[in-house]
Amino acid sequence: MATNKIALIRYQTIDKCLQNRYRKWTLEDLIEKVSEALYEYEGITSGVSKRTIQGDIQVMRSDKLGYNAPIVVVDKKYYTYETEDFSINQSPISAADLDKMKEVISVMKQLNGFNYFEDMNEMIIRLENNLSKQNQQQISYIQFEDNPLLKGLEHLNRLYQAIVKKQPLLIAYQSFNNLRKAQAPKQAVYYPYLLKEYRNRWFLFCKSRKKKEFVTMALDRIVEFYELANEPFIEAHELDLEHYYDNVLGVTKSPNQREQRVVFKVDKKFADYVITKPIHATQKVIAEDETEVIFVMEVIHNFELEREILGFGEQIEIIAPRLLKKVIKARLCKAHEKYEQ
């Protein structure tokens, strides 16, 4: 965002100059004032070029950032606003644009660990320039799931870049087991392949150099990590990473696991909730009557699947496979025993 900030300083400085109608502003005067502002706010000592200021004036004149500034040249020398009380800070934004911008900001806040939004630079400059001038507080009409105590988001962008650049990492990882035993984080070298989000928590799928096995790390358990520039990167050619998680609910999976045909039935009065919010993308209705609806899905049996099924309580019943049915029954019995004690 540094480029945005510097450009915004230039636009604001030119705007303030042109609002002062008690002085005639040459291009050299504007260059001098902008250079002073860049030094004052950013410590930039190299100044600014004539070509840059001319380009800034063209941008301010255009609709590129929504300014449409009526900048004119008087006597072929002096720059001013043709409209006496004009300012780019008063540049109107439609109500529809404002609503869209607020929604975009809300969405971007959910990805605040990333910084690859360079393609949105122009919109953000306009957004910063206009919305930052509004002092009136307004209710937020869109809310996202958020966990203010969640750790590890600061690692997102560096891990993403390491994956893209195929950079091995030395990771210090503090597992819950080590934490309970008051043990120090364990360091090891890993090859990162994929970032995965599940229930507002981020995970890194990678391979251990030492054990040659694939592991899934929670970002909130990563204490620190370092890029290893001289370490060769080992690809995961044996895996289809783009579809690796297609047959799983959550992130717990080993490469050799295969999905199972899970059949379950749901009370008729509750079935619409399961239909409109499927447990898994492969879920389908295969039968129904007046009292119940029967579903099937192709998914791996893991902890997350068990937890999801248990979350439905008495409104869902596993029909197949037998092992999953047995595990769910045992866990429900244990839960019942706790309440009986």
Amino acid 84: pLDDT: 85
Amino acid 54: pLDDT: 94
Mean pLDDT of the chain: 84
Q: How many angstroms separate the CA atoms of 43 and 46, rounded?
A: 9
Task: Name which residue leads in pLDDT, 335 or 178.
Answer: 335
Amino acid 108: pLDDT: 58
pLDDT tens-digit readout, 133-142: 454 545 555 5
pLDDT at 152 over 60: yes
pLDDT tens-digit readout, 277-326: 999 999 999 999 999 999 999 999 999 999 999 999 999 999 999 999 99
Q: How many angstroms separate the CA atoms of 254 and 302, rounded?
A: 10
Amino acid 259: pLDDT: 92
Cβ density class 87-116: b for 16+ within 10 Å, e for less: bbeebebeeeebeebbeeeeeeeeeebeee
Provide the token pair at 32. 């001098």
Amino acid 294: pLDDT: 96
Amino acid 64: pLDDT: 82
Region 49-62: mean pLDDT is 93
Region 191-198: mean pLDDT is 93
Provide the token pair at 320. 């197949």
pLDDT at 2 over 70: no
Domains, the chain, ranges and CATH? 2-90 (1.10.10.10), 153-243 (2.30.30), 260-340 (3.30.70)
pLDDT tens-digit readout, 64-90: 887 889 999 999 999 999 988 888 887
pTM for the predicted model, two decimal places: 0.60
pLDDT at 18 over 60: yes
pLDDT at 158 over 80: yes
Amino acid 281: pLDDT: 92
In the block, tokens 């799928």 appear at 205
In this structure, of 91-95, 110-114, 116-120, 212-216, the range with the lowest mean pLDDT score is 116-120
Amino acid 1: pLDDT: 38
H helical segments located in the chain: 2-19, 27-42, 50-61, 95-109, 121-131, 156-164, 176-180, 268-276, 303-310, 322-340
Amino acid 135: pLDDT: 40
Amino acid 340: pLDDT: 86
pLDDT tens-digit readout, 250-290: 999 888 889 999 999 999 999 999 999 999 999 999 999 99
Instruction: Report which of 270, 19, 328 is spatially closest to residue 11, judged by C-alpha positions.
Output: 19
CA dihedral 35, 36, 41, 43 (to 10 degrees): 70
